[in-house]
Amino acid sequence: MLMTKGRPAQAVALTAEGRRTFTSNRGLSIEEGLIFEIGRPEVTGVDLEEPAPFEHRLGACERESAIGLPGLSEPEAVRHYVRLSQKNYSIDAGIYPLGSCTMKHNPRLDEAMARLPGFADIHPLQPQSTVAGALELIHELSRWLVVLTGMEAVAMSPKAGAHGEACGMMAIKAALLARGEAATRRIVLVPESAHGTNPATATRIGFEVRSVPARADGTLDVAEVKARLDDSVAAIMLTNPNTCGLFERDIALIAEAVHEAGGYFYCDGANLNAIMGKCRPGDLGVDAMHINLHKTFSTPHGGGGPGAGPVVLSSRLARFAPVPFLRRDEAGLQLVEHAQEALDHDDLGPARSKVVSGKPGSTFPHPALEAFGRLTAFHGQMGMFVRALAYMLSHGADGLRQAAEDAVLSANYIRASLRDLLSQPFGDHACMHEVLFDDHWLKGAGVSTLDFAKAMIDEGFHPMTIYFPLVAHGAMLIEPTESESKASLDLFIATIRDLAHSVRDGDTERFQHAPSLAPRRRLDETRAARTPVLKWTKQGAALPSPSPRR
Amino acid sequence: MRYLPLTSEDRADMLARIGVGSIDDLFAEIPAGMRLGDLLDLPRHKGELEVERLLRGLASQNVTAGSVPFFLGAGAYKHHIPASVDHLIQRSEFLTSYTPYQPEIAQGTLQAIFEFQTQVAALTAMDVANASMYDGSTATAEAVLMAHRITGRREAVLSGGLHPHYAEVVRTTSRMTGDEVVTLAPDVLAREDLCACVTEATSCVVVQSPDVFGNLRDIAPLAARCREKGALLIAVFTEAVSLGLVKPPGEMGADIVVGEGQSIGNPLGFGGPYVGLFAARQQYLRQMPGRLCGETVDAEGRRAFVLTLSTREQHIKRDKATSNICTNSGLCALAFAIHMTLLGEKGLRRLASINHAHTIDLADRLETVPGVEVLNETFFNELTIRVPGDAADVVERLAARGVLGGVPVSRLLPGQGLDDLVLVAVTETVSEADRAAFVERLEEVVRC
């Protein structure tokens, strides 16, 4: 989650410390220019034979201008990217306690499996007879997801969590269209604590968002939901456990009320890690839920993706799942790529049901009798599917449940170890896999949540999620995951305690100029937004570069 | 369990600190009737060896592109990826970091994104590019929504040369919002008159080049027509390597350029993960979807990079955001950037030339096969060929003879009377022997 508040309006004044070096390097922290400064257009790091002379067949479309791309030889390229990499924090290097992000260990077995040519070197449009193993893998992963969540079916193609949200809400829209209620049911209820993607998704699918406040303990009140339910409501979008790290204990009642009012229940599955093997969303009344394979099932985050967001669907929505999908019949697994498209907006009629001719009972993982359309060019994030299945097979039903328990145990251990110093917005109760603190305890100390987070960087830690969820003032949301040893948790806790004592002792110096030991100090984000420089240009290369190379 | 560091003793100590008797006390908020007592009906944990054996078993059932003469394209292309690319993207600090929300300790990712944005802008000849989308098809759908926001109109015109799956993704999104989509009939020979379809109601025209049938399209006249009618021109490409040899859409007047970046640095991977490229004219910057990385300075005045203009994005604007996208294709974008850096101007141009030369060679060879016809007047590295009989059947029979010979058009466009057409792509990975084998096998197959 991205913090949205507390950014410094201007660069913080520099404290004079540390001596300058000729290179601007600081030991192993090495400055690196841009490829446009160190590369040359005539250099290449790839040896390719000169083709025999040919007469082009490009018609009037031959490129006449230079592209403007520098090249690097292989040693230069390797050095460039290795140096860049060294400026990044990573889960491999330390705890990455970003609440809501589930930064757990990424097993290297999963990487190796995804790179097997049998998965990495196959084309999505090869004859199906040549990719039987790939289809079987998708089918097996589907089975795991369906069993784990207790749902009817799963749509595998969504490419990330937000894409999965779109998939689920489109299925809901399609179901409403089929019921003839799409024009009248336009409201989607979203709690104030929701991820920003929820309201953004609902709007994008053509719904209107109505907010639902949380009660004093951070959870949703079924009465508040009921008060907003009528025949204009299409769905509720709810995260469970919610973004405050709390299990919505009224969830079944809420689901029942929403269903009774003719709406659907979309669950944001970002926090599935807390409950896998402990309870099943299908038993809670969920109609659609995306699963972030890059969170719960440990496909690596890669500095911002790729992810994968398969969507499990209840029996009420399964028939509307998008293409493509797998169908098992006498001949084995078939990839169905074309449900008849219903192009008329007002008619997602039954005509399309003839496209899938198999018996409904034989159509696992999902029947998709009235598929709402297509979300992406091909079949989804196969590379992530392989990693996720490797992760699930490794853990098994027992290991996944143990992982959920350890994640919840670790979050509560942090809560219990910090509750005397930090403040919790909703009182001290057991949390799920993440623990939420606010900035009440910082009041009057001259230290903000942001300052505190930046001081953690100097101590060698990635900060927790800050300023999210919005329902807590100056939020600090900590999610340790099950990947941390007790020694790692203890050091993390001891560090936060030490920082907290500094706050209490009035040692604001430690915070206000932090970080001072990272590759960069605080950035002038106002300047970045006011005069956007989004690419390198020859003329624009005016900013001082620390490297003598320039 | 090798991935779980806590011991039973640790767990007991931790429960004691928390002050509860058992782990189940921490799950007490889950209503009793919904708590699972037993383990789910799934296998128990396995060692690396067993998992590897299982997955290798599945992998071995697939015919890999590298093991046979291989001619599939249609939106995903097999190119050689230098070994250093995969090595570098597996660096822990790239592979296992999150979105760069704390820029002081994420300069590596941020600088790589800044370089990527610059590369994409250069390649497409556009002003600005974002930090990536999921893939080319979703980028196309986002571009249409962006055009609607800019023009205030709600009708998109889709060329009959647009990849049918891309068109379907656009139609799916539009169906949900009630926006209009005019889809032109499949345009095998690039003869449609798109200019005639642009009216005062048109928000945008979406046109692909090289198109799905391999034809190159001079979109400059269409750009002029769009400008005249107040519509935006969205140019799409699915084969990024083509831009080494083909006039970039920015030079032909495109307003938004989207494309699939898989070709550079990313394996076929059965369709994903890929990387969507998204570029636009400067004036539309604030309507762009997705993340943008910008240059600034830190408190010591040193150059630094940071995610910026985030007031467009969902975590700030919520229901008013330009898109709901959050996670994108960071690592695939990095692979693209590294491969592109290794190629450089010289390498990319040469790579594109080789692709084109090999395709010309195959086109010439195919002309000699009785009953087979190459339909393209122009092309980069993909052809549409007409075969006698059912193309899907021909492709199956080629596969049985050890050649993955292309994509039958009917796979993308069933029921359109295009059942005798095959899309055939030729990259630098296709050797002279492969081309010869293809022609030979094809002759056999069409003869019988």
Are B171 and A373 a contacting pair at CB < 8 A? Answer: yes
Among B80, B104, B328, the residue to mutate for chain A (most A Cβ within 10 A): B104
CA-to-CA distance for A394 and A387, rounded, in angstroms? 11
Which tokens hold the place of B211? 């198109």
Q: What region does A427 belong to: left with phi over 0, alpha with psi -120 to 50, or beta? A: left
HSE-CB of A429 using CA atoms within 13 angstroms: 15
Q: A23: how many CB neighbours lie within 10 A of its CB?
A: 12
- The SS3 call for residue B208 is strand
Q: Which residue is closest to B215 within chain A, CA to CA?
A: A58
Are A426 and A341 in the same domain?
A: no
Which superfamily does CATH assign the domain made up of B68-80+344-447 to?
Aspartate Aminotransferase, domain 1 (3.90.1150.10)
Cis peptide bond prior to B210, omega within 30° of 0: yes
Q: Which long-range contacts (CB under 8 A, 24 or more apart) does A175-184 make?
A: A175/A264, A175/A316, A175/A317, A175/A320, A176/A234, A177/A346, A177/A347, A177/A348, A178/A320, A178/A348, A178/A349, A178/A370, A181/A231, A181/A262, A184/A231, A184/A232
B195/A contact by beta carbon, under 8 A: no
CA-to-CA distance for A43 and B346, rounded, in angstroms? 7
Which chain B positions have a beta carbon within 8 Å of A88's beta carbon? Answer: 93-94, 97, 100, 105-109
**For residue B320, what pLDDT is reported?**
86
Which chain A positions have a beta carbon within 8 Å of B216's beta carbon? Answer: 58-59, 61
Taking residues A262-277, report their average pLDDT: 97
Q: What are the residue ranges spanned by the domains of chain B?
A: 68-80+344-447, 83-339
CA distance A245 to chain B (A): 12
Q: Which residue is closest to A5 within chain B, CA to CA?
A: B316
Contact A309, A197 (CB under 8 A): no
Say yes or no to pLDDT of A51 above 60. yes
Are A372 and A415 in the same domain?
A: no
**For residue A335, what pLDDT is reported?**
92
CA-to-CA distance for A328 and A91, rounded, in angstroms? 39
Chain A stretch 216-275, residues whose beta carbon is closer than 8 A to a beta carbon of chain B: 246-247, 249, 251-252, 275
- Taking alpha carbons only, the member of B420, B363, B431 closest to residue B393 is B420
Task: Give residue-wise pLDDT tens across range A306-333.
Answer: 999 999 999 999 999 999 999 887 788 9
Which chain B positions have a beta carbon within 8 Å of A70's beta carbon? Answer: 341, 344-345
B309/A contact by beta carbon, under 8 A: yes
Question: What value does the mean pLDDT of chain A take?
Answer: 90
Please give the DSSP secondary-structure letter assigned to residue A279.
Answer: -
In a domain, A53, yes or no: no
Name the β-bridge partners of B236. Answer: B208, B258
Which tokens hold the place of B111? 């600088």
Are B341 and A35 a contacting pair at CB < 8 A? Answer: yes
Are B295 and A533 a contacting pair at CB < 8 A? Answer: yes
Contact A163, A173 (CB under 8 A): no
Are A371 and A406 in the same domain?
A: no
CA-to-CA distance for B444 and A367, rounded, in angstroms? 40
Q: Which residues contact A20 (CB under 8 A, 6 or more apart)?
A: none
Task: Give residue-wise pLDDT tens across range A275-285.
Answer: 999 999 999 99
Name the β-bridge partners of B44. Answer: A396
Contact A237, B319 (CB under 8 A): no
Are A78 and B348 a contacting pair at CB < 8 A? Answer: no
Contact A499, A452 (CB under 8 A): yes
Task: Give residue-wise pLDDT tens across range A396-415.
Answer: 999 999 999 999 999 999 99
| Residue B204 pLDDT class (50, 70, 90 cuts) | very high
Chain A stretch 435-464, residues whose beta carbon is closer than 8 A to a beta carbon of chain B: 453-454, 457, 462-463
In a domain, A55, yes or no: no
Say yes or no to pLDDT of B76 above 50. yes
Chain A stretch 407-436, residues whose beta carbon is closer than 8 A to a beta carbon of chain B: 408-410, 412-413, 415-417, 430, 432
Are A200 and B321 a contacting pair at CB < 8 A? Answer: yes
Chain B stretch 109-148, residues whose beta carbon is closer than 8 A to a beta carbon of chain A: 109, 111-115, 117-119, 121-123, 125, 128-129, 131-132, 134-138, 145
Task: Give residue-wise pLDDT tens across range A191-233.
Answer: 988 999 999 999 999 999 999 998 989 999 999 999 999 999 9
Of A107, A401, A457, the CB nearest to B3: A107
Are A367 and A408 in the same domain?
A: no
Are A136 and B176 a contacting pair at CB < 8 A? Answer: no
* Token pair 């899907």: residue: B392
Which chain B positions have a beta carbon within 8 Å of A105's beta carbon? Answer: 3
Q: Which residue is closest to B322 within chain A, CA to CA?
A: A200
Are A424 and A346 in the same domain?
A: no
CA distance A359 to chain B (A): 23
- The SS3 call for residue B192 is coil
Of A48, A301, A378, the CB nearest to B98: A301
B86/A contact by beta carbon, under 8 A: yes
Task: Kindly report the backbone phi and psi dihedral angles of residue B386, in degrees, each rounded to the nearest multiple of 5, phi listed first.
Answer: -100, 130
HSE-CB of A541 using CA atoms within 13 angstroms: 13
Task: Give residue-wise pLDDT tens across range B228-238.
Answer: 999 999 999 99
Of A57, A96, A120, the CB nearest to B267: A120
CA-to-CA distance for A67 and B247, rounded, in angstroms? 10
Taking residues A148-154, report their average pLDDT: 96
Say yes or no to pLDDT of B312 above 60. yes
Task: Kindly report the backbone phi and psi dihedral angles of residue B89, in degrees, each rounded to the nearest multiple of 5, phi listed first.
Answer: -75, -15
Give kind and range of the element (H or E) at residue B182: strand B180-183
Of B2, B58, B298, the CB nearest to A137: B58
DSSP B285-351: GGG--S-EEEEEEBTTS-EEEEEE-GGGSHHHHGGG-S----S--HHHHHHHHHHHHHHHHHHHHHH
| Residue B239 pLDDT class (50, 70, 90 cuts) | very high
Structure-derived torsion over alpha carbons of residues B320, B259, A292, B332, reported in degrees to the nearest 10: -130
CA distance A505 to chain B (A): 26
- The SS3 call for residue A505 is coil
Say yes or no to pLDDT of A342 above 70. no
Task: Give residue-wise pLDDT tens across range B353-372.
Answer: 999 999 999 999 999 999 99
- The SS3 call for residue B362 is helix
Are A396 and B295 a contacting pair at CB < 8 A? Answer: no
Taking residues B73-84, report their average pLDDT: 98
In a domain, A543, yes or no: no
Taking residues B223-249, report their average pLDDT: 98
B295/A contact by beta carbon, under 8 A: yes
Are A199 and A336 in the same domain?
A: yes
* Token pair 């109109």: residue: B153
CA distance A145 to chain B (A): 10
CA-to-CA distance for A15 and A13, rounded, in angstroms? 6
Are A122 and B65 a contacting pair at CB < 8 A? Answer: yes
Of A4, A303, A432, the CB nearest to B100: A303
CA distance A247 to chain B (A): 6
* Token pair 């969504």: residue: A158
Of B51, B216, B353, the CB nearest to A51: B353
CA-to-CA distance for A206 and B346, rounded, in angstroms? 47
B413/A contact by beta carbon, under 8 A: no
Are B98 and A524 a contacting pair at CB < 8 A? Answer: no
A514, B34, B300, B308, B309 from A521: Cα distances, Å: 7, 49, 7, 17, 20
Contact A2, B101 (CB under 8 A): yes
Cis peptide bond prior to A365, omega within 30° of 0: yes
> Largest Cα–Cα distance in chain A?
78
Which chain B positions have a beta carbon within 8 Å of A483's beta carbon? Answer: 3-5
Are B98 and A50 a contacting pair at CB < 8 A? Answer: no
CA-to-CA distance for B204 and A30, rounded, in angstroms? 47
Task: Give residue-wise pLDDT tens across range B34-52.
Answer: 999 999 999 999 999 999 9
CA-to-CA distance for A466 and A462, rounded, in angstroms? 11
Contact A3, A450 (CB under 8 A): yes
Chain B stretch 322-351, residues whose beta carbon is closer than 8 A to a beta carbon of chain A: 323-332, 334, 338, 340-351
In a domain, A473, yes or no: yes
Percent above pLDDT 90 for chain A: 84
- Taking alpha carbons only, the member of B167, B127, B161, B114 closest to residue B143 is B167
CA-to-CA distance for A184 and A195, rounded, in angstroms? 26
In a domain, A104, yes or no: no
Q: Which residue is closest to B20 within chain A, CA to CA?
A: A430
Contact B179, B202 (CB under 8 A): no
Distance, CA of A458 to chain centre: 26
CA-to-CA distance for A549 and B30, rounded, in angstroms? 60
**For residue A17, what pLDDT is reported?**
52
Q: A139: how many CB neighbours lie within 10 A of its CB?
A: 17
Are A242 and A293 in the same domain?
A: yes
**For residue A170, what pLDDT is reported?**
97
Give kind and range of the element (H or E) at residue A393: helix A382-418
HSE-CB of B318 using CA atoms within 13 angstroms: 17
Are A289 and A414 in the same domain?
A: no
- The SS3 call for residue A102 is coil
Are A406 and A336 in the same domain?
A: no
CA-to-CA distance for A525 and A550, rounded, in angstroms? 24
Work out whether the CA dihedral A366, A367, A369, A374 comes out positive or negative.
positive
| Residue A541 pLDDT class (50, 70, 90 cuts) | low
A52/B contact by beta carbon, under 8 A: yes
Are A367 and A253 in the same domain?
A: yes
Name the β-bridge partners of A335. Answer: A326
Which chain B positions have a beta carbon within 8 Å of A240's beta carbon? Answer: none
Say yes or no to pLDDT of A538 above 90. no
Give kind and range of the element (H or E) at residue B383: strand B382-386
Of A72, A415, A463, the CB nearest to B342: A72
If one counts the domains in chain A, the total is 2
B191/A contact by beta carbon, under 8 A: no
Q: Which domain holds residue A311?
A: 112-386
CA-to-CA distance for B17 and A398, rounded, in angstroms? 25
**For residue A352, what pLDDT is reported?**
29
Are A54 and B13 a contacting pair at CB < 8 A? Answer: no
Which chain B positions have a beta carbon within 8 Å of A322's beta carbon? Answer: 172
In a domain, A514, yes or no: yes
Do the bridges between strand B276-280 and strand B128-129 make them parallel or antiparallel, or are there none, so unpaired? Answer: antiparallel
Contact A160, A193 (CB under 8 A): no
CA-to-CA distance for A116 and B195, rounded, in angstroms? 47
Are A212 and A242 in the same domain?
A: yes
CATH of domain B83-339: 3.40.640.10
Taking residues A27-50, report their average pLDDT: 94
Are A222 and A369 in the same domain?
A: yes
Task: Give residue-wise pLDDT tens across range A453-469.
Answer: 999 999 999 999 999 99
- What's the length of chain A? 550
Q: Residue B268 corresponds to which amino acid? A: L
Which chain A positions have a beta carbon within 8 Å of B344's beta carbon? Answer: 39-45, 69-72
